Amino acid sequence: MKSKFVKPVALFAVSTLAFVLTTITGCNRDADDNNVQLIKELESTTYLTEHYPPLNYEQEGLLYGLSVDILEELFKKMNVNRSRKDIILKNWSEAYHQALNEEHTMLFSTARLSEREAIFKWAGPIAPVKYIVVARKAGNIKINTLSGLNNYAVGVIRDDAGYLILKEQGVLPGTMVLFDDVEQLYSALKNGGVNCIVYSETGNALIIQSLGLNAADFETVFMAGVTEAYYSFHANTPDEVITIFQQKLDQLKMDKTADGSSVYEKILNKYNVIQHIDDNITPEMVISLVKQTAVDIAGDAAGTFTKMNQQLPPYKDPVNPALYSFAYDTAINMMAHADNKLLVGQNFRGKTDAAGKKFRDEIVAGALKNQTGWVDYIYTKSDQSGLYYKTTYYQLVKGSNGAFYIVCAGRFK
């Protein structure tokens, strides 16, 4: 009797295992095939950019800039056989219309504005871009609102974000003089062909220097607006391509390297793209959050760490996500972080910000010596692209388990 049942059961087990293995193998094959298709799509894409420092520019026949460096890092992460040598440099208007009309095309760096939202697919942001109104000092131009530009001839690059910002803010098209590239734009400003121009703040300083102009001859007379720069893909690009591209970009921003800063942070620091920002967080708000977190750790260290890592309030402010708390132990191990759980469990002794400052060591050393204090450094902002000046308040606290911790929170400035 026993042998009559063994064979059917054994056969069933073998056939079931074979089915499972076939299914798993099939799933893996599908995933591999999908990855191959995504890589092929990205390798067949035409990559377009313009001369727009510090985001993207040409120097001695090669392309540089933070957007170029980031894209090359993304190629490596996605195993895409492309590099900066495969990027095509054109004037903005020509590149813009090619990306708009030709499939398998990507353009960068593109300001993501409402007028453009539906005509491209987007991955980013790469970095914030501040647009300013630049004039010759001798022109003695004074404006208090963008509508004041209606009294002047204003130079802009055709199809550029600066042009669209002015258009959205009600500057009359008849007052705007269109140019195809930055050399034409600045030549017109220098020679009096226009009264002023609109261009990015960081790019303005670099362009003036590269063209051999005297920076003392020009001045910023108004701030036109701030946008975010993105990688923009043709509208028919498969969503799966955008998804994987975005995921890899997010990883590049969040993953810290062995020295404590991310590749993204290093690239922004390399091009000196560090900004001041008002995040509406006061020193009093920071101190209050640190004190509350310290009280909670003193009462229940393990429970508080869990809630912090779950990004629950009050440890991460639901209104202003730039206000969050985090905590180290005295060996500079990250015990909890209410904004980036990928950092939890890592040791940060000797690790630096993108500029090389060992700010975490300073925080822990300051807490052990003085109990509380502030430390300045540069850091990324979780709800916004870019690299910013930040200051963090710290407090030493004895946890409910008898161990000492350093509780922190910061604000951008």
**pTM (2 decimals)?**
0.63
Whether residue 284 sits in one domain with residue 236: no
Within a domain: 406: yes
Whether residue 99 sits in one domain with residue 222: yes
What average pLDDT does this structure show over 63-88?
A: 95
Whether residue 191 sits in one domain with residue 317: no
Q: What is the dihedral of CA 135, 139, 143, 148, to 10 degrees?
A: -90
Within a domain: 168: yes
Within a domain: 264: no
Q: Which residues pair with 410 in a beta bridge?
A: 392
Q: Is 61 helix (H, G, I), strand (E, B) or coil?
A: coil
Whether residue 98 sits in one domain with residue 222: yes
Q: Domain holding 314: CATH number?
A: 3.30.450.20
Contact 111, 164 (CB under 8 A): yes
Q: Which two tokens stand for residue 231?
A: 């990688």
Whether residue 216 sits in one domain with residue 67: yes
Tracing tokens 């970095």 back to the chain, one arrives at 127
Spatial distance between the Cα atoms of 292 and 369, rounded to a whole number of angstroms: 21
Between 31-35, 112-116, 263-267, 386-390, the lowest mean confidence (pLDDT) is in: 31-35
Q: Which two tokens stand for residue 222?
A: 């108004």
Whether residue 59 sits in one domain with residue 35: no
Within a domain: 226: yes
Domain termination site, one of 224, 254, 284: 254
What average pLDDT does this structure show over 208-219?
A: 87
Q: What is the pLDDT of residue 32?
A: 53
pLDDT above 50 (res 3)? no
Q: What is the pLDDT of residue 66?
A: 92
Sign of the C-alpha dihedral computed for residues 218, 224, 225 and 228 taken in this order: negative
Within a domain: 284: yes
Contact 147, 225 (CB under 8 A): no
Whether residue 391 sits in one domain with residue 335: yes
Whether residue 86 sits in one domain with residue 20: no
Q: Which two tokens stand for residue 328?
A: 């180290």
More confident residue, 97 or 15: 97
Q: Which two tokens stand for residue 343?
A: 């950092």
More confident residue, 226 or 394: 394
Within a domain: 265: no
The crossing angle, in degrees rounded to 10, of helices 182-191 and 201-210 is 80
Q: Which domain holds residue 17?
A: 1-43
Output the DSSP codes for 193-250.
Answer: SSSEEEEEHHHHHHHHHHTT--GGGEEEEEEEEEEEEEEEEETTS-HHHHHHHHHHHH
Whether residue 114 sits in one domain with residue 38: no
Q: Domain holding 249: CATH number?
A: 3.40.190.10
Within a domain: 259: no
- pLDDT digit string, tens, across residues 342-380: 899 999 998 887 667 889 999 999 999 999 999 998 887
Whether residue 314 sits in one domain with residue 190: no
pLDDT band at residue 385 under the 50/70/90 scheme: low
Whether residue 51 sits in one domain with residue 39: no
54 upstream amide cis, omega within 30 of 0: yes
Residues 6+ apart with CB under 8 A from 96: 107, 110, 159
Number of domains in the chain: 3
Whether residue 52 sits in one domain with residue 91: yes
pLDDT above 60 (res 269)? yes
Spatial distance between the Cα atoms of 118 and 233, rounded to a whole number of angstroms: 11
Q: Is 293 helix (H, G, I), strand (E, B) or coil?
A: helix
**End-to-end Cα, the chain, rounded Å:** 82
Within a domain: 388: yes
- pLDDT digit string, tens, across residues 138-160: 999 999 999 999 999 999 999 89
